[in-house]
Amino acid sequence: MKIDEIKAFDGRNIYSHKKCIKINVDLEGYSDIPTKEIKGFNEKLIEMIPQLKEHRCGIDEDGGFVKRLKEGTYLAHVCEHIIIALQNILGMEVSYGKAREIFGDKYYIIYQYIYKNTAVETGKVAVGLINSLIRDTAFDLESDLNLLKSILREEELGPSTLSIIKEVKKRNIPITKLGEGSMFQLGYGRNSKIMEATIDGNTKTVAVDIACDKLLTKELLYNQCLPVAEGGLVRNSLELLTKANRIEYPVVLKPRYGNQGKGVIVNIKNDKEAIRAYRSLSENFDNIIIEKNIFGKDYRVCVVDGEVVAVSQKIPPYVIGDGIRSVKQLIDQLNKDLRRGEGHEKPLTKIKVDEELKITILKKGYNLESVIRKGEKLILRETANLSTGGEAIDCTDDICEENIEMCKRAAKTIDLNICGIDVCCSDISKPIGKDGAIIEVNAAPGIRMHHYPSKGASRNVAGAIVDMMFKDTPKSTPIISVTGTNGKTTTTRLIAHVMSLAGYNVGMTTTGGIYINNKCVEKGDTTGYDSAKVILSSKEIDAAVLETARGGMIRRGLAYDLADVGVITNITEDHLGIDGIDTIEDLAYVKSLVAEAIKSKGYAVINADDPVSVTILNRIKSSIIMFSKDKYNPILINNIKQGGYGIYTHEGIIYVENQDQILPIVKVEDVMITLNGKLAYNVENAMAACAALVGLKVKYSTIRKGLISFYGDENCNPGRFNIYNVNGAKVILDYGHNIEGYKAVINGAKSMKHKRLVGIIGVPGDRTNSSTEYIGEISGESFDYIYIKEDMDKRGRKTGEIASILKKGVINSGFDKRKVEVILDEQEALRKAIDNAVIGDLIIIFFEKLEPLAKLVKEKVNTDKKQVAVTI
């Protein structure tokens, strides 16, 4: 078994609505061999991963997977289960997976993941394990698990970040990971917020810098008459002893710039200890400060948005003697607690045996091999930080009002919107007075001690942080996703146009480019994942209208989580035979993702006149808005009866209907892109856009205004039935590139006055031979003269290949061979068509690249070089 390809999907995709990995594998001759026929395979597998016994495997009973093994199952399926089991062993709660045949020995395996890099490597380990079982060779699973654990530690999020993400999800705010660290974007567009651990976008950089400087923090607090420990900077041994004797022993030495209690040496009792501590610190730190040692309990007070939201007492790590085991053995036993992990991965941190710990217990007359009397408590560190193995007790209900006000003033003094204030005093329930002090103010405070205290109530600090971040900001940015075979671009542009009139700053992706507030920031076919991300991450937009093409969905999935409205204009034959999409049913399955990924209170917009689109209705969980050219369409009527909306045309008017009312929106003849109703497909596109806007609750008056002010020209809708007058002939530039597109454009053109209908035809090289030939036949039946051209991007075809197939179709239709020319370059073909045109000709070119052709047309226009208004 070998891996051919690995692909990660960061969001909803055609395989799953979860984040998942897809690996394509080659079974190398084992596609028809069940594992029960491979000697010792099943037995050794279960022995190595006994957790597989718990897998139900689609059989609604315990041990379902083992049962399948005994009955006979195959390698790809087994690999899927191994991957899930290994992730579970690593502590990740995943359960979804599937394996499907591509052809022959080629399979793909889909499996859910939480951490991408770890999941990718887990897939590789699973394949290696399977190969070892097939070859009956040794496999060091423990070593590989340790490797996976190290990868997981590198990318695993800490409990503080995870707590915030959990609260964000509760509020249905979409989350986007930024980079490889712990930075996230919450929400989309201008309403989005940036978060990294417990620092948000409104946390002031200057305030963070102040908090990182312990000496400056002390000075600012002191200037506001807040209690701090007496002390200052020490630059040499003489200054150390001078200040130590002035403030009187015991004292504390610590780095001026430090965190997590690193380098803090407390309870220094005399000059000798002070010199020793100073020399030790000087080896690792340049700036050292001295403070009066404040005796009492260590408390952490968390302040969010100027309010105290949680208080914990920090307890240094300790062991209780049993008269039998050594200190080291007691520490090892303590570290077996499942709540303890490496670093910040779990509620508590494992106690690390280092020099600091050894020195601490040595002061008390012990070493690691010492056996402590039964019941005796031995403090392992002199500082009480969770990061070095400490614990926390919740005291939120105990803190007195005086201390609350003190901490609120401290947070305001440093100007931190989220901070952890370390207070040392005898009892937090009483005003701290002269015997207590504020020791530090921490930016980016860890909040796991408040969420997971060893004793007492859990405090939802993460919830307070998220509520603060979004208190003055909408949590949602409207997203409209548009897919289908034809009409996507026009519908997208029309929706964006009306949204702009409604007062939104709109971001839009189309086949023509990425637009922010009507300005193109990137030209090209921008209908995929990365283009949508540009819009969703832009701080300029408060609404996103995304043309979402099949290719992007197949390759990367959706760039957003859930849309407010998902539109499917129609589903007809296009791009078949590519990316495993061979049938119209396959294509409908891909397109349906847009209609499935919709908020519970959102809407799916479906074309009731399109039989293929109607087949996906059972996949849609949201409300549905149907549109139809026939008000009596039974599918549309049924949707209205079930509480949905219907958009339809009747007697030349577009109406919106639900159970409560029927309201006219606009006359079809007033919708500019329909050319007085002659372009039937643009009537459909107008209804699709209208339906989406109704779903967004845009005012009907604004919808009407938008529909009648959106023109079918190069400014509003470039490349979509743009008409130019060229010296008595008309030239139409259109992006029609498939069978239904050709039919729609040709039918629209036939409704216009003309002497001859001239076609300049071509299709992308990735169309099937049969569909290409059929387009040739359609052209032969419709045009009076034909030029055949090819795209510059051949998409795998040889030069002249597509043209040859098109010509075959044209000739098969009975077309006069003398009236068809092959001119592969589309600019040259258009130039010749214009040069040979007579007054009254109507020329249609189905283009690949719009700009060069538009430029050419303008050069050919009458002498004043200005476009003439079209009268139809």
Asked whether residue 555 falls in the same domain as residue 625, the answer is: yes
Q: Which two tokens stand for residue 761?
A: 């035809």
- Is the residue at 459 inside a domain? no
What CA–CA distance (Å, rounded) separates 107 from 99? 7
Q: Which residues contact 221 (CB under 8 A, 6 or more apart)?
A: 227, 228, 410, 413, 414, 438, 441
How many other CB atoms are found less than 10 A from the CB of residue 439?
23
Question: What's the pLDDT score for residue 579?
Answer: 64
What CA–CA distance (Å, rounded) separates 740 from 758? 19
Q: What are the CA-CA distances from residue 436 to residues 232, 291, 295 (Å)?
A: 18, 13, 8
Distance of CA 826 to the CA centre of its chain: 40
Residue 267 amino acid letter: N
- Is the residue at 388 inside a domain? no
What CA–CA distance (Å, rounded) separates 43 from 666? 71
Q: Helix, strand or coil for residue 180?
A: coil
Asked whether residue 500 falls in the same domain as residue 638, the answer is: yes
Asked whether residue 10 falls in the same domain as residue 85, the answer is: yes
Structural element, H or E, at residue 166: helix 159-170
What CA–CA distance (Å, rounded) separates 15 from 504? 34
Q: How crowded is the C-beta side of 178, counted as CA atoms within 13 Å? A: 16
What CA–CA distance (Å, rounded) separates 312 from 303? 12
H, E, C per residue of 436-481: CEEEEEEECCCCHHHHCCCECCCCCHHHHHHHHHCCCCCCCCCEEE
Structural element, H or E, at residue 846: strand 842-846
- Is the residue at 456 inside a domain? no
Of 676, 708, 740, which one is at a domain's C-terminal end? 708
Residue with tokens 């957003």: 560
Averaged pLDDT, groups of 10, the chain, 872 residues long: 96 94 96 94 96 85 88 95 96 94 95 96 97 95 96 90 95 92 94 94 96 95 96 93 93 87 86 92 91 94 98 93 93 88 76 88 91 91 79 96 98 97 96 91 94 94 96 89 95 98 97 94 93 96 95 93 97 73 88 96 97 95 97 97 96 94 96 94 97 97 97 92 92 90 92 94 91 95 96 92 96 95 96 94 94 91 47 36
Residue 714 amino acid letter: E
Of 679, 708, 737, which one is at a domain's C-terminal end? 708
- Is the residue at 300 inside a domain? no
Give me the torsion for CA of 370, 313, 226, 238, rounded to 10°. Answer: 10
Alpha-carbon Rg of the chain, whole angstroms? 35
Asked whether residue 124 falls in the same domain as residue 167, the answer is: no
Bridge partners for 563 per DSSP:
598
What CA–CA distance (Å, rounded) separates 571 from 554? 16
| Phi and psi at residue 395, to the nearest 5° | -130, 20
What CA–CA distance (Å, rounded) separates 252 from 244? 9
Residue with tokens 């779990």: 346
- Is the residue at 403 inside a domain? no
Domain count, the chain: 6
How many other CB atoms are found less than 10 A from the CB of residue 71?
9
Asked whether residue 11 falls in the same domain as residue 142, the answer is: yes
| Phi and psi at residue 296, to the nearest 5° | 150, -165
What range does the domain containing 81 cover?
A: 2-155
Asked whether residue 7 falls in the same domain as residue 121, the answer is: yes
Give me the torsion for CA of 141, 142, 144, 150, rounded to 10°. Answer: 160
Q: For residue 537, give the nearest of 548, 524, 546 by alpha carbon.
A: 546
Q: For residue 18, give the nearest of 480, 597, 616, 567 by alpha carbon.
A: 597
Q: Which residues contact 805 (CB under 8 A, 6 or more apart)?
A: 769, 772, 773, 776
Q: Which residues contact 128 (CB under 8 A, 6 or more apart)?
A: 139, 144
Tens digits of residue pLDDT in 804-861: 999 999 999 999 999 999 999 999 999 999 999 999 999 999 999 999 999 999 988 8
Q: Which two tokens stand for residue 861?
A: 């226009």
Of 331, 351, 381, which one is at a domain's C-terminal end? 381
Question: What's the pLDDT score for residue 862?
Answer: 54
- Is the residue at 15 inside a domain? yes
Asked whether residue 485 falls in the same domain as residue 373, the answer is: no
- DSSP string for residues in 257-309: S--TTTT-EEEE-SHHHHHHHHHHHHTT-S-EEEEE---SEEEEEEEETTEEE
Asked whether residue 131 falls in the same domain as residue 180, the answer is: no
Asked whether residue 95 falls in the same domain as residue 183, the answer is: no
Asked whether residue 136 falls in the same domain as residue 194, the answer is: no
Residue pair 23/124 in contact (Cβ under 8 Å)? The answer is: no
Asked whether residue 742 falls in the same domain as residue 692, the answer is: no
- Is the residue at 565 inside a domain? yes
Question: What's the pLDDT score for residue 38?
Answer: 95
- Is the residue at 448 inside a domain? no
Residue pair 503/517 in contact (Cβ under 8 Å)? The answer is: no
Question: What's the pLDDT score for residue 869?
Answer: 39
Residue pair 518/500 in contact (Cβ under 8 Å)? The answer is: yes
Residue 79 amino acid letter: C
Q: What is the CATH number of the domain that holds 278?
A: 3.30.1490.20
Question: What's the pLDDT score for residue 150?
Answer: 94
Question: What's the pLDDT score for residue 625?
Answer: 98
Q: Helix, strand or coil for residue 171?
A: coil
Q: What is the CATH number of the domain that holds 610?
A: 3.40.1190.10
Tens digits of residue pLDDT in 379-425: 898 777 777 888 899 999 999 999 999 999 999 999 999 999 999 99
Tens digits of residue pLDDT in 240-274: 999 999 999 999 999 999 777 778 888 899 999 99
Q: How crowded is the C-beta side of 535, counted as CA atoms within 13 Å? A: 36
Asked whether residue 604 falls in the same domain as residue 638, the answer is: yes
Q: For residue 772, give the nearest of 798, 802, 812 by alpha carbon.
A: 802
